[in-house]
Structure 1
Amino acid sequence: MWENGTAMTVSDTGPLFRRLRVLPFLAVLALALSASGCRSPFFYPTRDHVPVPGLENTSRQDVRFASEDGVPLHGWLLSPRDRVSRGTILFLHGNAENISTHVQPVLWLVREGYTIFAFDYRGYGWSGGDAPDIPGVHRDARAALSHILSLDGVSPDRLVVFGQSLGAAVAVHTVATASPSQRPRALILDSPFAGYRRIVRDKLSSLIVTWPIAWPASRFFDDEYSPERWIGKIAPVPVIVIHGTADRVVPYSHGKMLYDLASDPKGIWTVEGGGHATALRNPEVRGQFLAFLASVLPPEGDRRPSR
């Protein structure tokens, strides 16, 4: 279980499950100095799906819906077989590839009785659109939230939004700007970065060749949607931040900053030795995750009053 302001520390010394793809520093430098290309370091989409082990054990529906600006989007609604769902999780994935490479690590939640709605941003997988951009993926996430809440049997008080890496950053703005009638029961952020400019500065500052231009180059990136600007507007929706201390893609300091900026109710789960978006491989974190879900999505007969 969890309490307001809790901090949990666990250990994870295993190898990274998947690394965020980071553009080589010379390419980042060139793009950062070109306004027309400054969005590209955040997005590495692929179109082709790959086989997903375990997907056949879920009840899968292909979902088609439109983004706020009309771009056609595709997703999967993955439900438990032969049992009533315990609640729905809107899953926002990271910046590389597509849902077929991101959904497998969360399929265990379907086995535990939860429904997962995972979708691809524009330019990813079977979604339409060309090159994704920062405003566009935020429009897509808001549309996904609206779509899942339009389905029979899905209501805000039975919904949790869960984002990993880039998806965690997008999730913050999505929940912060949602109407009161669309606010979910909770928000969970795994390996989030605090700001678009901030993560660019960190990446450029980590290399002696690009360190001198880290601050001016970061100004080419739009910071309007940065989580650090919006995390304080999430309350009273509970926020959980999960971050590994050995994350070499998004430093732990980003997750800690978002936790500090968030209002109660909130919690932070620090994974000692954990890498980027690997926490859910840890049995202790999985147990804490399930306990938290049970606390905010109790059985239908034991539901809390709606906010």
Structure 2
Amino acid sequence: MESRTPRLLLNPAAGLTGLLCAILLLPGCSSLFFYPDRATYITPDRLNLAYEDIYLDTPDGEALHGWWLPAEAPGSEALGTVYFLHGNAQNISSHILNVSWLPDEGYNVFTIDYRGYGQSTGDPDLEGALHDVETGLRWLAEKSEVKNRPLYILGQSLGGGLGIALASEWTQRQEQPRLDGVILDGTFSGFRRIAREKLGEFWLTWPLQIPLSWTIPDDYEGVDHIPRISPVPVMVIHSVRDGIIPFHHGQALFEAAREPKEFLQTDTPHGATFVIPGYQRDVLRFMNAER
């Protein structure tokens, strides 16, 4: 875009990334992080979940689509709300199984598609995605079912990277409602760091891994922002068998985080944490302890 309204929390970086990537005849460095599609894989009703389609306008003119899944708590209040930020491929309809178990445990769930994903308009890029996750959180902050109840961010992979930047600014500016916990599953320690690693895996991009990684702004590196989430509790989840985001990224995030913090070492493929009921219980224990 030629111009973009600044986010209320996060100051936009210069447009150096797209320019340098174009000079280097690559399709754009954002392609390292974003692999959207517009197919519908499954909808919540197929999982016997009540849901509402949500449509939000961003400050810079995009329209986002999301799902609100109310807690299955008839006759009583929800235990809290989980704001789920999904990974970099496909869209919310392919990621919904990661949180479909939470309404039955008494938690509302809200999830959005970043621009260019699913029914959301636009084309994905890092700055835009940061706009999008903030837009979703600001919508949640005004929802009556969320006020005066615990609020958590759950980010997987790319969603964790976006969630760290959002949570750190939200906390530092003492925005309301305050976050009660941040859960990061299979998240990389920094956009520039993981880009350099991935570029180094292929012979064609290996010679360019350092110069190309420098085209990615380092404003939102997870290891730099995660300490600023404190005093909000942080849970870092990472698998020793993660073949996409190596285990050392989770270790680096945990080491950089300040107390209160918790590390959950798992043993599943990337993005498959919550197929294991035991790992679900670990997350519920973390959230219940912070209420």
TM-score, normalised via structure 2 length: 0.85
- 1:55 Cα deviation after fit: 4.3
**SS of structure 2 residue aligned to 1:180:** coil
Instruction: Give the 3 Å change call, closer, same or farther, for CA 168–125 of structure 1 in structure 2.
Output: same
Deviation, 1:51, is: 2.4
1:261 Cα offset (Å): 0.5
Q: Which residue of 2 aligns with 1:6?
A: none
Q: Is 1:163 paired with 2:135?
A: no
2:139 alignment partner in structure 1: 147
Note if 1:223 corresponds to 2:218: yes
Cα deviation, 1:163-193, whole Å, max 9, x if unaligned, reads 0000000000011111313331000000001
8 A Cα contact 2:155 2:185, kept in partner: yes
1:45–1:155 distance in 2 versus 1, CA, 3 Å: same
Question: Which residue matches 1:17?
Answer: none
2:30 counterpart residue number = 39
Whether the 8 Å CA contact 1:168–1:190 is kept in 2: the answer is yes
Do the aligned partners of residues 148 and 53 (structure 1) sit closer, same or farther apart at CA in structure 2, a change above 3 Å counting? closer
Question: Aligned partners of 2:92 and 2:71: how far apart in 1?
Answer: 18
Number of matched pairs:
266
CA distance in 1, matches of 2:46, 2:254: 33
The structure-2 alpha-carbon separation of the partners of 1:266 and 1:82, relative to structure 1 and needing over 3 Å to count, comes to: closer
Correspondence 1:1-307 to 2 at 5 A: 33-34=24-25, 37-52=28-43, 55-81=46-72, 83=74, 84=76, 85-129=78-122, 131-155=123-147, 158-178=150-170, 179-182=173-176, 183-207=178-202, 210-271=205-266, 273-297=267-291
Q: Give the whole-Å Cα distance in 1 for the aligned partners of 2:190 and 2:62.
A: 26
> Aligned-pair distance for 1:228?
1.8
Q: Which has the higher contact order (CA 8 A, sep 6+)?
A: 1
Structure 1 Cα separation of the partners of residues 145 and 43 of structure 2? 27
CA shift, 1:222, in A, is: 2.0
Letter in 1 for 2:131: R
Report the aligned-residue RMSD. 2.0
Question: Percent of aligned pairs with the same residue?
Answer: 37
